[in-house]
């Protein structure tokens, strides 16, 4: 699954640790999501959408 985590984080001048703290996950989780190696749970996707003030589909896109 493609995502815009890195871009959205950079636009806000947040570190991976800042984003991890805001979403209550590890920095390693943020790294894995940004690299496309981990698809977040629906709960985490909703938390991210709320944090970024976007719809989930504005952050995550299917790769097909």
Express each pLDDT in 10-37 by its tens digit. 999 999 999 999 999 999 999 999 999 9
Residue 11 in domain: yes
59 within some domain: no
pLDDT of the residue at 1: 85
Q: What's the pLDDT band for 59 if we cut at 50, 70, 90?
A: very high
Q: Is the pLDDT of residue 64 over 80?
A: no
pTM of the model: 0.90
Q: CATH code at 11?
A: 1.10.260.40
Dist. CA 26–CA 30, nearest whole Å: 7
Contact between 3 and 62 under an 8 Å Cβ cutoff? The reply is no
Write out the two tokens for 24: 């209550």
Q: For residues 4 and 51, what is the distance between their CA atoms, to the nearest angstrom? A: 13
Domain that holds residue 34: 2-54
């Amino acid at each position: 699954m493609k995502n815009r985590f890195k871009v959205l984080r950079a636009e806000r001048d947040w570190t991976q640790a800042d984003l991890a703290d805001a979403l209550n996950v590890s920095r390693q989780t943020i790294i894995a999501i940004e690299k496309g190696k981990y698809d977040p749970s629906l709960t985490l996707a909703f938390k991210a959408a709320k944090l970024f003030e976007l719809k989930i589909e504005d952050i995550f896109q299917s790769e097909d």
